[in-house]
Amino acid sequence: MRFKAKILLIYTGGTIGMSKDLETGALKAFDFSRLWQQIPELEQLDCEIESVSFEKPIDSSNMNPEIWGTIAKMIASNYGQFDGFVVLHGTDTMSYTASALSFMLENLAKPVILTGSQLPIGDLRTDAKENLITAIQIASHHDKGQAVFQEVGLYFEYKLYRGNRTTKVNAEHFKAFNSPNYPCLVESGVHLKWNSHLLLPHTDIQNLKVHYQLDAQVLILKLFPGICGTVLQAILGIPTLKGIVLETYGTGNAPTSHSFVESLQQAIHKGLYVINVTQCSSGSVDMGHYETSRELKELGVISGKDITTEAAITKLMYLLGKNTPKNDFKLAFETSLRGEMN
Ligand code: ASP
């Protein structure tokens, strides 16, 4: 008998399912059942589709670790019954969610693909239909009864990316996402072109392991010329703070002033984890390449290599949530866990 994949659509909210409030003109989430009326083409797909929606769909600006837990739970509790999952999500924080889910879902052997759109599904020029239909097609692609794509992906504007490699780069264009340091995994044209050699290797371990504990006592700090020592000290001195993602210049460079280095040194000494990522839109941190990063390396700053800020902050939450021992933390962060860094 021919294999027919069963796909679960999980609607969390976002523009894809929004409509204009007639009074205020603002976009707000609408009833998910209308999605099916808007895309009757879903019936034509060669797979079975079921859907489930957040009771109250959200604008993804309201996303948080607790809601990531809800999404992970929806996937985990339906894992045995479905062959793949497509998560409809607002674009604003989609890369954060894709990154978080990649760490939360260990030994993933089925596709989890996030998608959304820049224009609501009911809009005449909407990008929602192509995004949704192709995301489902990719999720249902099987070979010898096995899902071909076995990781957390993000599909947008003709490209499937590894989710934890993406970042939102445009608030208006249909090409809203980029994967600056890793090529796309599937390209949609007349045919779907799979870059199979770039996929994560399939896992032999059958049991999905879900990590629900994320520790959000973290912060992203972007350097800028003139960053003030007292501000830095105040931030690093927040008593509950456990880790920061420091967005540095170029290949991981930072001021060499005494006040800056001393503040960092004290914080690290007190047990704060500091992750060095570049604020450039692509490329990698290489501590020690310049004099301005050599000292960071000596202080025990952790290299984020070519990770995105979105993946760095969620990986930090994940490793803290797992209570990773202090002595293992640096190595754990600098090791690729889900293909998020080279
Ligand atoms: N504000 C919306 C959201 O992220 C934008 C979108 O969906 O594109 O939920």
The CATH number of the domain holding residue 71 is 3.40.50.1170
User: Could you say which of 179, 210, 241 is where a domain stops?
Assistant: 210
How many other CB atoms are there within 10 angstroms of residue 24's CB atom?
A: 8
- Same domain? 93 vs 194: yes
Q: Say if residue 194's pLDDT is above 70.
A: yes
Q: 3-state class of 146 per DSSP?
A: strand
- Whether 289 is covered by a domain: the verdict is yes
- Same domain? 246 vs 311: yes
- Whether 316 is covered by a domain: the verdict is yes
Q: 3-state class of 95 per DSSP?
A: helix
What's the 130 CA to ligand 1 centre distance in angstroms? 17
pLDDT of residue 30: 67
Among candidates 81, 76, 83, 207, which has minimal Cα distance to 145? Answer: 83
- Same domain? 198 vs 238: no
For residues 67 and 104, what is the distance between their CA atoms, to the nearest angstrom?
12
Mean pLDDT within 181-198: 97
Over the stretch 54-66, which tens digit does the pLDDT of each residue have? 999 999 999 999 9
Q: Which atom of ligand 1 is nearest to the CA of 118?
A: 8
Highest mean pLDDT among 29-33, 200-204, 228-232, 261-265: 261-265
pLDDT bucket at 293, cuts 50 / 70 / 90: confident
- Whether 339 is covered by a domain: the verdict is no
Among candidates 288, 313, 277, 273, which has minimal Cα distance to 264? Answer: 273
Mean pLDDT within 126-135: 95
Q: Say if residue 119's pLDDT is above 80.
A: yes
**Which residues is 84 bridged to in the sheet?**
7
- Whether 241 is covered by a domain: the verdict is yes
Instruction: Please classify residue 171 by burial: count the beta carbons closer than 10 Å to its beta carbon, then call 0-12 exposed, 13-18 middle and 19+ buried.
Output: exposed
For residues 158 and 302, what is the distance between their CA atoms, to the nearest angstrom?
35
Mean pLDDT within 289-297: 89
What is the average pLDDT value for the chain, to the nearest integer? 94
User: Could you say which of 188, 210, 232 is where a domain stops?
Assistant: 210
Ligand 1 pocket check for 14: Cβ under 6 Å:
yes
Evaluate the CA torsion angle 294, 180, 57, 27 in order and state its sign: positive
Ligand 1 pocket check for 90: Cβ under 6 Å:
yes
pLDDT bucket at 36, cuts 50 / 70 / 90: confident
For residues 118 and 14, what is the distance between their CA atoms, to the nearest angstrom?
9
- Same domain? 61 vs 196: yes
Mean pLDDT within 53-79: 96
- Same domain? 124 vs 256: no
- Whether 340 is covered by a domain: the verdict is no
What's the 217 CA to ligand 1 centre distance in angstroms? 25
- Same domain? 227 vs 183: no
pLDDT of residue 342: 93
Q: Which of 31-40, 80-89, 214-223, 286-295 has the lowest mean pLDDT?
A: 31-40
Q: Which atom of ligand 1 is nearest to the CA of 13?
A: 9
pLDDT of residue 215: 98
- Same domain? 244 vs 313: yes
Ligand 1 pocket check for 115: Cβ under 6 Å:
no
Query: What residue owns the CA closest to ligand 1's atom 8?
Result: 91
Q: Is the pTM of this model over 0.85?
A: yes
Query: What residue owns the CA closest to ligand 1's atom 3?
Result: 90
pLDDT bucket at 2, cuts 50 / 70 / 90: confident
Contacts of 80 (CB under 8 A, 6+ apart): none
User: Could you say which of 177, 210, 243 is where a domain stops?
Assistant: 210
- Same domain? 164 vs 238: no
Q: Say if residue 330's pLDDT is above 90.
A: yes
How many domains are there within the chain?
2
Q: Say if residue 34's pLDDT is above 90.
A: no
Over the stretch 225-260, which tens digit does the pLDDT of each residue have? 999 889 999 999 999 999 999 999 999 999 999 999
**Catalytic (active-site) positions:** 15
For residues 291 and 49, what is the distance between their CA atoms, to the nearest angstrom?
56
* CATH number for position 282: 3.40.50.40
Mean pLDDT within 25-34: 73
- Whether 341 is covered by a domain: the verdict is no
- Whether 99 is covered by a domain: the verdict is yes
Q: Say if residue 278's pLDDT is above 90.
A: yes
Ligand 1 pocket check for 15: Cβ under 6 Å:
yes
- Same domain? 175 vs 91: yes
Ligand 1 pocket check for 243: Cβ under 6 Å:
no
- Same domain? 200 vs 248: no
What's the 29 CA to ligand 1 centre distance in angstroms? 10
Mean pLDDT within 6-33: 83
- Same domain? 176 vs 249: no
With contact defined as beta carbons under 8 Å apart, do 42 and 33 qualify?
no
Q: Which of 144-153, 199-208, 232-241, 301-310 has the lowest mean pLDDT?
A: 199-208
Ligand 1 site-directed mutation target among 11, 56, 61, most atoms within 8 Å of CB = 61
What's the 123 CA to ligand 1 centre distance in angstroms? 15
Ligand 1 pocket check for 59: Cβ under 6 Å:
yes
- Whether 1 is covered by a domain: the verdict is no
What's the 303 CA to ligand 1 centre distance in angstroms? 31
- Same domain? 205 vs 230: no
**Whole domain around residue 245: which residue ranges?**
218-333
